[in-house]
Amino acid sequence: MTLPHTPPPYYAILLAAGSGSRFDPLGHQNKLLQPLEDGCSVAVTSAANLLAIMPHVLAVVRPGAKELQAELRAIGCEVTTCEQAEEGMGASLAHAIGKVRDAPGWIIALADMPYVKPSTVRTLLDLLRGGADIVAPCHDGRRGNPVGFSHFYLPQLLALSRDEGARRLLQTLPVHLAQVNDPGIHSDIDRPQDLLH
């Protein structure tokens, strides 16, 4: 008797390996560990919004980010360290995708965007499950984050490097835009005043 095959799950990738130099040019404070108004950190809130919809979240962090790793693991994220994080977002994203390359698709989110609604994550995931290859949310006529890719684009994602992230792919390939009522897709924590939402 053979057991039914369980397909691999969709994964959310949480990019949490940036240096945050605009937030603190001296590098004393990790912006992702800063508390928001409810007391939860920026990264934990961003991760929780993904976990509300997707049980499999892989966070990628830079070397030495032990406190951030611990916080993300404590709420249920898998965590991987990208030794090449200094090279930029593209290197971190390719590293994370390589760890979960068997997934049928990925929602790629930024850890400094804690105001994205879980409903937006659900919309993007439903579109991927429905056969879309690249998805992104749109609010007030502007595309935002997170974005989603199907397994079809695995080679292109693995080939990313330096700081280009997925932006070049979104500029050159057809993207299915999902209209969402979510201004959080444009709100990131770039400077200390952004913590007061």
Domain residue ranges of the chain, discontinuous segments joined by + = 11-188
Q: Is 90 helix (H, G, I), strand (E, B) or coil?
A: helix
Burial class (CB in 10 A: 0-12, 13-18, 19+), 6: exposed
Q: What is the pTM of this model?
A: 0.93
What pLDDT shows up at residue 67?
95
- Please give the CATH topology (third level) of the domain spanning 11-188: Spore Coat Polysaccharide Biosynthesis Protein SpsA; Chain A (3.90.550)
Mean pLDDT per 10-residue interval, the chain, length 197 residues = 76 90 66 91 97 98 95 98 92 96 97 97 98 97 97 94 79 94 93 72
What pLDDT shows up at residue 54?
98
C-alpha dihedral, 11 to 17 to 23 to 26, nearest 10°: 170
